Amino acid sequence: MAAEQFSAVEVIRAKRDGGELSNEMIDWTIDAYTRGVIAEEQMSALNMAIYFQGMNRNEISRWTAAMINSGERMDFSALTDPSGKKLATTDKHSTGGVGDKITLPLAPLVASFGVAVPQLSGRGLGHTGGTLDKLEAIPGWKADLSNEELFSQLSNVGAVICAAGTGLAPADKKLYALRDVTATVEAIPLIASSIMSKKIAEGTGTLVLDVKVGSGAFMKDEAMARELAETMVNLGTDASVNTVALLTNMETPLGLTAGNAIEVEESVEVLAGGGPSDVVELTVALATEMLAGAGIKDVDVAGALQNGKAMDVWRRMIAAQGGDPDAKLPVAKESHTVVAEAEGVLLKLDAMDIGLAAWTLGAGRARKEDSVQAGAGVRMHVKPGALVRRGEPIATLLTDTPEKMEHAIELVQRAIMIGSADDRPDTRLILDRIAAK
């Protein structure tokens, strides 16, 4: 058996003492951990050292590259449409929020302009919803595609939303699970490399990041969210992926729904030219960035929602994955409406509490192996800034398990703050745009 190039203790000590890990040390660490040479307690110690000491740009870039090299890397360079025309690829990643159904209208909208969208997505955990959970509310729709099916659908339809294969950055799967149980999830070098290793391995030419800030987001603090966005943009740029980020507000849920089937319903409304203004605004903003990165500028993005182009792609995309775009969506068996207890301006509808309520009702899962209720969730009737009267409906709670209703009602009531018009909140959605420096 060949001798190992380094020892785990050597790497841990170097980072613990504030040193810079060399390229060779990083490559060995990810490979050795994947092979089982580095024990879980040793990688836990290294993660904690990184949490406190940080990493510079070169270290994070090399760490990300090592995670990519632990598995396969997809290549869309030869992708063409049925006529043989070469297709550019573009993708979006959201750091997760409440009511964040943006991928559903966004992928077909961008594809309607002749750019391929390979959107590899995940399922929800905790208070943040998962794109695949939402789409699985559509009868017949399947999330798992082979690489051959993915490429074929991209060529013929232009958009795919599906589960990521296990071959992409397998080191990240081990590291993520470890970070989750060692209180090191918040380490920005580890967050950024986790997200970007999968996105770069996916092989897209352009990437737009939606980095959410606020109570319902992973990052509550704008300065931390900005640092994460800048780090990820740098990682994409270093890997020759055209990358930009938008900082977006997650103090309030996106749109008027938080759940699975009800978010699909709202997404279809957007594709039909309607839907909540904030969902439309963010969908159009992200689509504009994705198209610009792919070389398509000065086009009427909003118009593609109005004229049916995006809806046509949506229907073909759903049908290609076995779904029936005309099927009735599941409806929860039980409902309860929470009303305003006072008159005034709705100052707050806290995203975290609404997300927790939807999760409690059955729309989310506590463990990866848990199932979700397609019809469960929270349907909101007003947004912050609106004038409400006593007794007016604020939100309707939906579930198949009525015993869960009482706690969810408490959470929604806690989410609501009503006050004076003088305290009307700032409801800006897009806080900033971050590009490579």
The per-residue pLDDT for range 376-403, each reduced to its tens digit, is 999 999 999 999 999 999 999 999 999 9
**If you average pLDDT over residues 88-115, what whole number do you get?**
96
pLDDT in tens, 360-379: 999 987 776 778 999 999 99
Q: Is residue 125 scored above 70 in pLDDT?
A: no
Q: Is residue 175 scored above 80 in pLDDT?
A: yes
3-state secondary structure the chain: CCCCCCCHHHHHHHHHCCCCCCHHHHHHHHHHHHHCCCCHHHHHHHHHHHHHHCCCHHHHHHHHHHHHCCCECCCCCCCECCCCCECCEEEEEECCCCCCCCHHHHHHHHHCCCCEEEEEECCCECCECCHHHHHCCCCCCCCCCCHHHHHHHHHHCCEEEEECCCCECHHHHHHHHHHHCCCCCCCHHHHHHHHHHHHHHCCCCEEEEEEEECCCCCECCHHHHHHHHHHHHHHHHHCCCEEEEEEEECCCCCCCEEECHHHHHHHHHHHCCCCCHHHHHHHHHHHHHHHHHCCCCCCCHHHHHHCCHHHHHHHHHHHHCCCCCCCCCCCCCEEEEEECCCCEEEEEECHHHHHHHHHHHHHCCCCCCCCCCCCCEEEECCCCCCEECCCCEEEEEEECCHHHHHHHHHHHHHHEEEECHHHCCCCCCEEEEECCC
- Would you state the pLDDT for residue 1? 61
Q: Is residue 186 scored above 70 in pLDDT?
A: yes
Q: Is 368 noted as a catalytic residue in this protein?
A: no
Compute the chain's Rg from CA coordinates.
Answer: 22
**If you average pLDDT over residues 213-229, what whole number do you get?**
94
d(C-alpha 360, C-alpha 408), whole Å = 6
pLDDT in tens, 41-84: 999 999 999 999 999 999 999 999 999 999 999 999 999 999 99
Q: Which of 93, 134, 348, 379 is catalytic?
A: 93
Mutual orientation of helices 261-271 and 277-293 as an angle, nearest 10°? Answer: 70
Q: Which of 62, 101, 123, 198 is catalytic?
A: 198
**If you average pLDDT over residues 409-413, what whole number do you get?**
98
Q: Which of 194, 197, 215, 267 is catalytic?
A: 194
The number of beta carbons lying within 10 Å of the beta carbon of residue 207 is: 28
Q: Is 423 noted as a catalytic residue in this protein?
A: no
- Would you state the pLDDT for residue 177? 82
Q: Which of 15, 92, 101, 179 is catalytic?
A: 179
Supply the pTM of this predicted model. 0.94
Question: pLDDT exceeding 90 applies to what percent of the chain?
Answer: 86
Q: Is 194 noted as a catalytic residue in this protein?
A: yes
Q: Is residue 166 scored above 80 in pLDDT?
A: no
244's CB contacts (< 8 A; 6+ apart) are: 207, 208, 209, 233, 289, 293, 433, 434, 435, 436
Q: Is residue 253 scored above 80 in pLDDT?
A: yes
**If you average pLDDT over residues 303-329, what whole number do you get?**
97
pLDDT in tens, 7-49: 999 999 999 999 999 999 999 999 999 999 999 999 999 999 9
Q: Which of 91, 100, 172, 238 is catalytic?
A: 172
> Mean pLDDT over all residues of the chain?
94
d(C-alpha 197, C-alpha 171), whole Å = 10
Question: Could you tell me if 310 and 108 are in contact, meaning their C-beta atoms sit under 8 angstroms apart?
Answer: yes
- Would you state the pLDDT for residue 3? 81
**If you average pLDDT over residues 271-290, what whole number do you get?**
98
Q: Is residue 299 scored above 80 in pLDDT?
A: yes
Q: Is 198 noted as a catalytic residue in this protein?
A: yes
Question: pLDDT exceeding 70 applies to what percent of the chain?
Answer: 99
